[in-house]
Amino acid sequence: MYRYPSRNQFIFVLILLSFIVAISYYPNLVERYYSMGIYPYIGVTMRSLTRWFPFSIGDIIYIVLVLKLVQILIKIVILLIKTQWRLCLVILMRYTYYFLWLIILFYALWGLNYSRLGITYQMTITPVKNYTYQDLQGLRNQIALKLNNLASALYPDSTNTLRVALWETIKCDIDNSYKTASTRHPFLRYSVPCIKPDLFEKYADYFGYTGYNSPLTGEAQVRQNIPRLTIPYTMAHEIAHQIGYASEDEANFVAYLVSIESPNLYLQYSCYIEIYRYVSIALLYDHDSIKNSKQSIPLNKRVIKDLQDIDNFLRLHNQVLAIYMMNIYDEYLKANKQTKGINSYNEVIGLLMAYHRRYGYR
């Protein structure tokens, strides 16, 4: 027997949601009392509860929610066919009420971090927005130098082979790297690690992701079937989400900070490979790139091969459905104050330039 949620129940949930929306317009309050106040305790508590499960609780929850949504839609269609309008309305009201609670949980458990002041406030830097082709080329040259040096250290033998790091080894190295970074940047402290393989990675190509953070459970899910070299940086990125950096450009930047502080050359190499790809894509879309002929630093042959392997993987595994899913994610990001949507990932370039202008290249 279905019943309407009471009027008072609806009023209460709408008041709660309105309060969260109102708070989101005050980044200073969000930063001080939520992101750097209660959220670290929320994150640690959720990770403490879910880390003991060998599988992803978040993946299970999301598949249950999808199945439930399908069930509701089928039920509504059947009722509409039978012209049972009142019962259909009751079901819609009931699940709208539950949906509002789900939104409240999302923002209370993690989503308010979209409204914080964030890493630019903590690092006292202002992202560079109007950078030139020369700026981009200079950044790419600095990264190319790092990649060449790291490749020489990681591939010392004549066979040019790199020992493949095990999943658990990478997790341990990332955890240690966050500890190292937090000695210089205390706000990057990460405790109670909770990183898990994605249960549905075989189907992830259809959705176009390599990893994601689960706001409702505090877990970070990372695919194991992506190029091994991309896993360390992906893990560092998802952990950045776990500790409260919701925007994609900030998560990329935090992963960069953690990587350059790490004594682990494999993590550094993984980071610089990803950043090099971001900068190269930005250069391709620069309108002045044809007019400029500033000399690029040539890459080590091994670096070129690693970049090609990653690009080949992405090209072979790119599914048509992923394009539509990325469009949905683009709208989700825009709805959460990331005005550039999916292109927010590339905004890490402005953060990197601001960081290097203030602190120099390391």
SS3 285: coil
SS3 at position 158:
coil
Tokens of 128: 């560079």
**Which alpha helices (H) appear in 185-317, and where do they start and end?**
231-242, 248-261, 265-284, 301-317
Report how far residue 360's alpha carbon sits from residue 362's, in angstroms, rounded to the nearest whole number. Answer: 6
Domain chopping of the chain, boundaries: 7-115, 120-359
59-63, 206-210, 287-291: lowest mean pLDDT where? 287-291
Question: What confidence tens digit (pLDDT) does each residue in 178-211 have?
Answer: 999 999 899 999 999 899 988 877 777 767 778 8
Region of poorest pLDDT, from 16-20, 102-106, 333-337: 333-337
Per-residue confidence band for 29, with pLDDT thresholds at 50, 70 and 90: very high
- Strand-pair partners of 219: 214
Q: What is the mean pLDDT of the chain?
A: 82
